[in-house]
Amino acid sequence: MRQGSRRSIWGGGLLLVACLLATAATAQTGGEGLSPTLANIKQTHVVRLGYRESSPPFSFLDQANRPIGYSLELCEAVVDEIGVEVDDANLKIEYVKVTSDDRIPAVVQNKIDLECGSTTANAERGKQVAFSPLMFVAGTKLMVPKASTISAPKDLQGKTVVVTKGTTNEQAMHAVDKKFALGLNIVASPDHEQSYQMLVDGKADAFATDDILLYGLIARHKSQDKFRVTGDYLSYDPYGIMYRKGEPQLTAVVERAFRKLGSNHDLIPLYNKWFMSRLPTGERLNVAMSPQLEDAFKALDDTEGASN
């Protein structure tokens, strides 16, 4: 699905992703001690997972208002590996709601242990938090009404664009506005669902966020006849699971969990479950895996094989 255009914009970002997301951490804390996060988990027998309410298929609520999604399943695999590390096979999971605006502070301020959403890993965020290996690759696009004439940034002259507060998409639209002198009215809403509703209510001409989230919202609301996703990619957004920075032992656990998923060939079936098959909430995205993600998953398999 639209793979050609992905290759061209993402090529330059692959080196950054490799540095940010795929650096193996082999350092461990000395003696029998555990890193702060792992020590707290061992003491409380609880792992706190941050989830998003409206980021399908990564992290969202099912019809019974329970957190589900691709990112949460990946986090659950990490929880299993944490259990091995702290010698506790019966760890409990506590789900904590986060938004795009408060997710990084939630990690930094020790309110959650893993953030399981749709978060872009970049150098700026890497100064505050750590990221798992690559789990998805997306990019900023625009959702517009079917009848809209908007198909490129130049068509946005003087228009109102809604973004979700605290996202890289917000930064991308400010950069586009400055580059093309568009005079945009950029409005930030608290979460993706509110951003989508602004477009529905006619309070915005376009909604800018990661393409996969736009497709997910359209599918979830069954609004294929009302809205479309348009334009070239306006940013490059590699996703990872966030956790606290400066804990090499925790990093080793997270990366070990991903390598095990890779070596057991569980990552592709997991991807297909959430991106190709019908979701528990009824919709189907039919978003094929990008070549970049295929390569990243294969590298995890190769890394595990080399370490055995």
Mean pLDDT throughout 128-136? 97
> 288: which DSSP letter?
P
Scanning 87-150, the segments in alpha helix (DSSP H) are 103-108
* CATH code reported for the domain at 3-137+238-307: 3.40.190.10
Task: Please report which confidence band the pLDDT of residue 303 belongs to, taking 50, 70 and 90 as the band edges.
Answer: low
Asked if the bond preceding 291 is cis, omega within 30° of 0, the reply is no
What does the block give as tokens for 256? Answer: 């070990």
Kindly indicate whether the domain formed by 140-230 is annotated with CATH number 3.40.190.10.
yes
Q: What whole-number distance in Å separates Cα of residue 155 and Cα of residue 120?
A: 27
242 or 29, greater pLDDT? 242
Task: Please report which confidence band the pLDDT of residue 305 belongs to, taking 50, 70 and 90 as the band edges.
Answer: low
Q: In the chain, how many H helices and how many E strands?
A: 11, 15
Torsion of CA 281, 287, 289, 292, to 10 degrees: -120
Task: Give 163-217 pLDDT, tens digit per residue.
Answer: 999 999 999 999 999 999 999 999 999 999 999 999 999 999 999 999 999 999 9
10 CB-contact burial (10 Å; exposed 0-12 / middle 13-18 / buried 19+): buried
Domain residue spans in the chain?
3-137+238-307, 140-230
pLDDT over 90 (residue 301)? no
Q: Residue 242: which of 143, 147, 100 has the closest Cα?
A: 100
pLDDT of residue 33: 87
Task: Please report which confidence band the pLDDT of residue 292 belongs to, taking 50, 70 and 90 as the band edges.
Answer: confident
C-alpha dist (Å) from residue 188 to 97, 193, 196, 205, 246: 19, 12, 11, 13, 31
- DSSP lists the bridge partners of residue 46 as 92
pLDDT over 80 (residue 304)? no
Amino acid type, 20 = L
What are the φ and ψ backbone dihedral angles of 13, each rounded to 5 degrees?
-90, -10
Q: Do domains 3-137+238-307 and 140-230 have the same CATH topology?
A: yes
Mean pLDDT throughout 79-105? 97
pLDDT over 50 (residue 283)? yes
Half-sphere exposure of 89 (CA within 13 A, CB side): 0
Task: Please report which confidence band the pLDDT of residue 38 belongs to, taking 50, 70 and 90 as the band edges.
Answer: very high
Mean model confidence pLDDT for the chain: 90
Q: What percent of the chain has pLDDT over 70?
A: 88
What does the block give as tokens for 58? Answer: 């990564």
Is residue 100 within 8 Å of residue 194, measured between CB atoms? Answer: no
Is residue 157 within 8 Å of residue 182, measured between CB atoms? Answer: yes
Q: What whole-number distance in Å separates Cα of residue 20 and Cα of residue 218?
A: 31
pTM for this predicted structure: 0.84
Torsion of CA 278, 284, 286, 290, to 10 degrees: -80
Q: Is 146 helix (H, G, I), strand (E, B) or coil?
A: coil
pLDDT of residue 236: 86
Q: What whole-number distance in Å separates Cα of residue 257 and Cα of residue 250?
A: 11
pLDDT over 50 (residue 26)? no
Instruction: Give 300's contacts (C-beta < 8 A, 6+ positions apart).
Output: 133, 258, 259, 261, 262, 263, 267
